[in-house]
């Protein structure tokens, strides 16, 4: 193909812009090669037509996919334009939205520029570019001015309020456009207020539930009743067999989007009155969050945190308002034996929770050996909080026995501190007038770590599901009662909250007086636990 002259390139660019500016969604399809679905097309058209577009959605509808293509389309069709993007954390800016932008530019049939996409930036000319900004520094949002400017706020529900003020400051002119898009996880704040229809705000609003998406509509699944009728097996047929056969017969026009089988599973894990179901399946702001133990938006935010170090080697928070303390190594262990449950070990230091370690179908003696390989038994700053109920008691006894044997043999004595929790005993509670049982006390303490914004947890699917699904209530005695493990298992079809139990134990705060495994407990009074969040990296000894 012969090279085009400068004049021919200008003419071609002008033709593209004149042709597609009135129909930007077709530019996304024709020039960017994106196989969009109907609601994504509507979001593209709205972003170009209206000053402000707000989109709240369920999970996995291609939010960042379409936001990236809107950014490239805007930059291409409007000469001299500026696109500013942001998200709750810098990792979300670079690893999600800007990765999609880089992919979009690479696959585009219309080459706007030969410049490479940087980590969070693309420059066509001095005053014609796109940039990604972190929400850590609100002052960075000031100073962007152009005749045509677009601001994209990805995962808008998790973005702090000062950033919204910065967005308004740089979009005062008539040709400015703003796209807010994300899961409606937080029933307060600017993103929530954007959907307040009682206020005369000129905002084009979209709400997308799982039942609006192509993998549902293509199969005639328009509501929960239809979904349950489809996946509920006939009498005498195993659910797993029926589920698998139904999945095979479903049409999947968009494999990357949310699918009916996943929503069926979430129905049984979360329940329709949970905040997770309302936000992540129905695309609605939670209305009954009081039944959920942990606020959904805080659990999601905690999974977005990362232990990042500045030039001095100190950690800093990625999200505004979060301040995660450091501290010595501690472990929470939820014990299992040969059943379907798992033994789960949760390591953490301060509020930084590390990847959990788990195993199943292992005798208690072997589990004790595994635990001692994970921890440093000679480190006196290490603390273990272990489930001592039922089978767990055998592991606790074995850990103490091994320590005594080491000491008797002349080898170095184990120095780590062991805190054993018997969940069936009321005497282990520190506030019996406030809480129904030790489970309620431990989980309410876990809740405090989230509400105080002092915790970072692994972004792990099963742990997330257990945390957002756990429920609580005030019982007839006026005490806080968190759903028991047995009740949780009954409600979720046999799923056990092993990982969240282990996490709660790791953050339990330990005992009033610590003892090493070789010590002999003197009385339950001596070892009554103190349930409190750690406020510093120092273990307080009483």
Lowest model confidence (mean pLDDT) among 66-70, 72-76, 86-90, 465-469: 86-90
The gap from C-alpha 105 to its chain's centroid, in whole angstroms, comes to: 28
Please tell me which residue, 33 or 10, carries the higher pLDDT value. Answer: 33
Q: Are 355 and 458 in contact (CB under 8 A)?
A: yes
Residues 228-255 pLDDT 10s = 999 999 999 999 999 999 999 999 999 9
Confidence of residue 372 (pLDDT cuts 50, 70, 90): very high
Q: Are 296 and 447 in contact (CB under 8 A)?
A: no
Lowest model confidence (mean pLDDT) among 264-268, 318-322, 432-436, 462-466: 318-322
Cα(16)–Cα(149) distance, integer angstroms: 19
Has this prediction a pTM greater than 0.85? no
Across the range 373-391, mean pLDDT stands at 88
Cα(362)–Cα(283) distance, integer angstroms: 41
Confidence of residue 519 (pLDDT cuts 50, 70, 90): low
Residue 304: per-residue pLDDT: 83
Residue 9: per-residue pLDDT: 62
**519-to-158, 399, 415 alpha-carbon distances in Å:** 47, 11, 10
Does an H or E element contain 229, and which?
helix 224-231
DSSP assignments along 275-340, one per residue: HHHHHHTS----S-GGGBSS-HHHHHHHHH---EE-TTS-EE-SSTT--PPP-SEEEEEE---SSS
All residues at 6 or more sequence positions from 26 whose CB lies less than 8 Å from its CB, including other chains: 20
CATH number of 6-212: 3.40.50.300
Share of the chain above pLDDT 70, in %: 87
- Give the HSE-up count for residue 109: Cα atoms under 13 Å, Cβ half-sphere: 10
Among residues 300, 220, 208, the alpha carbon closest in space to that of 258 is found at: 208
Confidence of residue 225 (pLDDT cuts 50, 70, 90): very high
Confidence of residue 346 (pLDDT cuts 50, 70, 90): very high
Beta-strand runs (E) in 104-156: 121-125, 128-134, 149-154
- Give the HSE-up count for residue 112: Cα atoms under 13 Å, Cβ half-sphere: 31
Strands 329-334 and 472-474, by their bridges, are unpaired
Cα(126)–Cα(416) distance, integer angstroms: 60
Residue 146: per-residue pLDDT: 87
Share of the chain above pLDDT 90, in %: 50
Cα(482)–Cα(175) distance, integer angstroms: 52
What is the chain's alpha carbon radius of gyration, rounded to the nearest angstrom? 27
Cα(66)–Cα(71) distance, integer angstroms: 9
Phi, psi of 365 (to 5 degrees): -65, -45
Q: Are 295 and 280 in contact (CB under 8 A)?
A: no
Domain ranges in the chain are 6-212, 222-291, 296-506
Strands 357-360 and 383-387, by their bridges, are unpaired
Residue 126: per-residue pLDDT: 87
Across the range 381-408, mean pLDDT stands at 86
Residue 206 has pLDDT above 50, yes or no: yes
Residue 492: per-residue pLDDT: 84
Q: Are 80 and 277 in contact (CB under 8 A)?
A: no
Across the range 267-287, mean pLDDT stands at 89
Choose the most confident range, by mean pLDDT, from 109-113, 261-265, 397-401.
261-265
CATH number of 296-506: 3.30.420.240
All residues at 6 or more sequence positions from 535 whose CB lies less than 8 Å from its CB, including other chains: 325
Residue 313: per-residue pLDDT: 53
Among residues 423, 427, 526, the alpha carbon closest in space to that of 482 is found at: 423
Across the range 206-220, mean pLDDT stands at 97
Residue with tokens 């972004």: 459
**430-to-368, 383, 425, 511 alpha-carbon distances in Å:** 28, 19, 12, 10
Residue 3 has pLDDT above 70, yes or no: no
Residue 275 has pLDDT above 70, yes or no: yes
Strands 52-57 and 417-421, by their bridges, are unpaired
Please tell me which residue, 54 or 297, carries the higher pLDDT value. Answer: 54
Please tell me which residue, 102 or 337, carries the higher pLDDT value. Answer: 102
Residues 30-55 pLDDT 10s = 999 999 999 999 999 999 999 999 99
Residue 4: per-residue pLDDT: 55
Lowest model confidence (mean pLDDT) among 81-95, 226-240, 303-317, 409-423: 303-317
The gap from C-alpha 136 to its chain's centroid, in whole angstroms, comes to: 18
Residue 99 has pLDDT above 90, yes or no: yes
Average pLDDT, the chain: 85
Q: What token pair was written down for 125? A: 């000319």
Residue 494 has pLDDT above 90, yes or no: no
Across the range 269-296, mean pLDDT stands at 84
Residue 201 has pLDDT above 80, yes or no: yes
Residue with tokens 């134990």: 505
Cα(330)–Cα(267) distance, integer angstroms: 34
Across the range 145-166, mean pLDDT stands at 91
């Amino acid at each position: 193909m012969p090279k085009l002259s400068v004049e021919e390139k200008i003419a071609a660019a002008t033709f593209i812009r004149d042709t597609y500016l009135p129909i930007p969604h077709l530019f996304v399809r024709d020039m960017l090669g994106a196989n969009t679905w109907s609601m994504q097309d509507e979001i593209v058209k709205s972003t170009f037509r209206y000053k402000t577009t707000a989109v709240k959605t369920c999970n996995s509808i291609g939010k960042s996919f379409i936001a990236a293509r809107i950014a490239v389309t805007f930059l291409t069709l409007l000469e001299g334009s500026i696109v500013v993007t942001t998200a709750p954390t810098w990792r979300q800016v670079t690893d999600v939205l800007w990765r999609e932008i880089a992919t979009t530019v690479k696959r585009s049939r219309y080459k706007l520029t030969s410049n490479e996409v940087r980590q969070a930036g693309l420059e066509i000319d001095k005053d014609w570019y796109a940039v990604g900004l972190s929400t850590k520094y609100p002052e960075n949002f000031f100073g962007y001015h152009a005749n045509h400017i677009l601001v994209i706020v990805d995962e808008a529900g998790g973005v702090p309020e000062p950033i919204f003020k910065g967005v308004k400051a740089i979009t005062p002119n008539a040709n400015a456009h703003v796209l807010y898009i994300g899961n409606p996880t937080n029933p307060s704040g600017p993103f929530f207020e954007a959907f307040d229809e009682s206020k005369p705000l000129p905002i084009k609003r979209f709400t997308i539930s799982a039942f609006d998406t192509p993998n549902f509509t293509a199969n005639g699944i328009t509501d929960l009743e239809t979904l349950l009728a489809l996946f509920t097996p006939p009498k005498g047929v195993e659910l797993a067999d029926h589920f698998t056969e139904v999945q095979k017969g479903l049409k999947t026009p968009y494999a990357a989007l949310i699918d009916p089988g996943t929503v069926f599973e979430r129905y049984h894990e979360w329940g329709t009155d949970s905040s997770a179901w309302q936000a992540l399946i129905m695309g609605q702001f939670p209305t009954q969050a009081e039944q959920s133990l942990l606020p959904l938006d805080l659990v999601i935010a905690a999974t977005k945190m990362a232990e990042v170090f500045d030039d001095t080697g100190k950690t800093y928070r990625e999200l505004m308002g979060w301040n995660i303390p450091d501290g010595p190594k501690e472990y929470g262990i939820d014990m299992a034996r040969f059943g379907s449950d798992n033994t789960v070990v949760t390591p953490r230091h301060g509020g930084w929770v590390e990847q959990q370690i788990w195993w199943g179908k292992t005798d208690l003696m072997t589990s004790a050996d595994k635990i001692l390989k994970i921890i440093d038994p000679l480190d006196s700053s290490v603390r273990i909080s272990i489930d001592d109920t039922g089978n767990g008691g055998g592991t606790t006894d074995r850990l103490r026995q091994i320590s005594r044997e080491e000491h008797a043999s002349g080898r170095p004595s184990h120095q780590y501190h062991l805190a054993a929790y018997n969940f069936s005993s009321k005497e282990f509670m520190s506030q019996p007038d406030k809480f129904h049982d030790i489970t309620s006390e431990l989980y309410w303490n876990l809740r405090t770590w989230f509400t105080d914004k002092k915790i970072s947890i692994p972004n792990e699917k099963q742990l997330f599901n257990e945390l957002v699904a756990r429920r609580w209530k005030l019982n007839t005695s006026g005490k806080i009662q968190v759903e028991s493990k047995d009740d949780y298992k009954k409600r979720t079809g046999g799923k056990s909250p092993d990982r969240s139990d282990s996490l709660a134990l790791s953050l339990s705060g330990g005992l009033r007086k610590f003892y090493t495994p070789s010590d002999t407990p003197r009385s339950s009074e001596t070892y009554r636990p103190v349930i409190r969040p750690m406020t510093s990296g120092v273990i307080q000894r009483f």
